[in-house]
Amino acid sequence: MRHSVFIYFLLAFLFVSLIGGSVLTTYTQFVAEGPLQEATETFIPKGKTLRKIAKQLHAEGIISSPSVFELGVRASGQASNIKSGEYSIPRYASPKMVMNILTSGNTYIRRLVVPEGLTSEQVIALMNNAKGLIGDVVQIPKNGTLLPDTYHYSYGDTTESMLERMKNAMDRTVEELWADRDKNISVKTPKEAIIMASIIEKETSRNSERAHIASVFYNRIKKGIRLQSDPTVIYAVTDGHVDKMKRVTYKDLKFQSPYNTYVIYGLPRGPISNPGRASIQAVLHPMQTKDLYFVADGTGGHVFAPNYNEHQKNVTNWRQISNGKKTTVKKEEELNEPAIQSPDMG
């Protein structure tokens, strides 16, 4: 290949002479290291001419000479083989290497990481900041309809197509997990399972705790006790714009809303977030316990209790830990403390 390229340069001798160079010098520049000091991505639009591509690469600092690149590509017989798309260019890539990359068709694949527990509004904000995704979202999807995951895409993909992929992924996941659910659970529909999973997603980030928290919620529902989950309060008070609120006050606990589980019995009207597979699985396969309470344990997890007396001991321990850390943040157990005084609490 090296010899054939050189022959092409010999045939282009007259052209090179006109621009004041030499065949050997031009070929040497074509295979020499380029000026790019850090790896980068470049996007080649459809229908762009080779000359304009060369000028673009030069403007982006990828090549030193547009004329050398154009001549080298033409002499190599690759002028019509450059493919549109986004490409990753390594640092110091020679013009010849850049040509090989642009004619390979191996476009750069981007990825969007959607964490568990975001609202659909937050997912849209994440997508709006994702470089390469284009188009506006016509309507924000309902919470609980988008599956958190890592999604790969190419430059120029649309936000609507990405949302459709997330919806399809959630539909497939729910269908698969629902078919294999424990038959004695009290949620009667996939929607109810998603609602409970969306709360669990906001209560803990530990996979080991999800099924345990699910058991607490099931036990409370069976006993006619309110769930009293702080994340539902935040969702209710902010009307779903959860970024606007960082902590819960006692006044907030009384906020009237079909999403506030401190004032309603059972599950909220709808999901408060987009739960991941693990939380949905936990709802459909809960741990079998008698626990009705949980509170932070000071390590990022929770400690559970089947009755109020044990819960109070756990709350006291958490207060001691919290005071030892001299934290100024509102303590979780102070919010949970009035949660369950008795099964018929008003």
Find out whether 44 and 104 touch, Cβ atoms under 8 Å: no
Paired with 111 in beta bridges are 152
Query: What's the rounded mean pLDDT across residues 39-54?
Result: 95
Indicate whether 326 pLDDT > 50. Answer: no
Query: What's the rounded mean pLDDT across residues 196-217?
Result: 97
**Site of tokens 């997330």:** 166
Q: What are the tens digits of pLDDT across the range 218-270? A: 999 999 999 999 999 999 999 999 988 778 899 999 999 999 999 999 999 99
Paired with 41 in beta bridges are 88
Q: Measured between alpha carbons, how far is 199 from 294 in angstroms, rounded to an integer?
A: 14
Burial class, 281, CB count within 10 angstroms (exposed 0-12 / middle 13-18 / buried 19+): buried
What's at 249, amino acid-wise?
T
pLDDT at 124: 96
Query: What's the rounded mean pLDDT across residues 269-281?
Result: 98
Indicate whether 205 pLDDT > 60. Answer: yes
Indicate whether 191 pLDDT > 90. Answer: yes
CATH of domain 2-104: 3.30.1490.480
Q: What are the tens digits of pLDDT across the range 113-170? A: 999 999 999 999 999 999 999 998 989 999 999 999 999 999 999 999 999 999 999 9
pLDDT at 22: 61
Name the DSSP class of 38.
S
Burial class, 245, CB count within 10 angstroms (exposed 0-12 / middle 13-18 / buried 19+): middle
Q: What are the tens digits of pLDDT across the range 62-85? A: 999 999 999 999 999 999 999 999
Closest CA to 198 of 224, 164, 161, 235: 235
Residues 6+ apart with CB under 8 A from 280: 173, 174, 177, 193, 194, 197
C-alpha triplet 244, 338, 232: angle, nearest 5°: 30
Closest CA to 73 of 51, 42, 44: 51
What's at 63, amino acid-wise?
I
* Domain layout of the chain by residue ranges: 2-104, 110-170, 184-336
